[in-house]
Amino acid sequence: MGKLPVLLYGSPILRQKSLPVQTIDGGLQTFIDDMIETMYAAPGVGLAAPQVGRLSRVIVLNPSEKQDPESLMVLINPEIVQAEGEIMAEEGCLCIPDLREPVTRYERVLVKGYDRNEREVEVEGKGLLARIFQHEVDHLEGLLFVDRLSTAKRDILRKRLKKLLTESR
């Protein structure tokens, strides 16, 4: 299949909660490969299944600057089980092109889930990796990074977001 189309802000799928993956089969493996190809082509550092139209709890991410294969992670049914500290940094999203805003996130998180080989994994993320985990898990919950902005900031951005909404239809 290859590269998948990334849904844009305004797509109703982006606002729905994803369902847990029940079976890791060949179809899911192909979908994960397509997600990785899509993330790299975008280019992005993370991608959640809802961003490409599938309401499954699957995320792929690679925080390295040069798409280092050793840094690539696939998490199925990820769950943030611990979080601490706070840090504000600029964030963007493939679903909301050309919009970057400072967002407060946890500085360190512990994430549990399964890898694509059905092994249970626990990954600690700090800094950028923690931010990516939180951003992608938010997608699985139907949340976008703009939902994490203050009401005042969202009001300021409302015109730009409305414009994106009309362009996506």
Helix (H, G, I), strand (E, B) or coil at 58: strand
Q: Does 136 qualify as catalytic in the annotation?
A: yes
pLDDT tens profile 46-83: 999 999 999 999 999 999 978 888 999 999 999 999 99
Contacts with 2 (C-beta within 8 Å, 6 or more apart), sequence order = 34, 37
Assess if CATH 3.90.45.10 describes domain 12-167.
Answer: yes
Sign of the dihedral through C-alpha 32, 1, 5, 25: negative
What residues of the chain score a pLDDT lower than 70? 1, 168-169
- pLDDT for res 1: 62
DSSP string, 66-114: T--GGG-EEEEEEEEEEEE--EEEEEEETTEEEEEEEEEE-SEEEEEEE
State the residue for tokens 């993370």. 46
Helix (H) or strand (E) holding 124: strand 120-126
Question: From the candidates 86, 101, 122, 136, which is the catalytic residue?
Answer: 136
Tell me if the bond preceding 43 is cis, omega within 30° of 0.
yes
What phi-psi label fits residue 153: left (phi over 0), alpha (psi between -120 and 50 degrees) or beta? Answer: alpha
CB atoms within 10 A of CB 66: 7
pLDDT at residue 137, rounded to an integer: 98
Spatial separation of the C-alpha atoms in residues 129 and 131, rounded to whole Å: 5
How confident is the model at residue 151, as a pLDDT?
Answer: 87
Gap between the Cα atoms of 94 and 8, Å rounded: 8
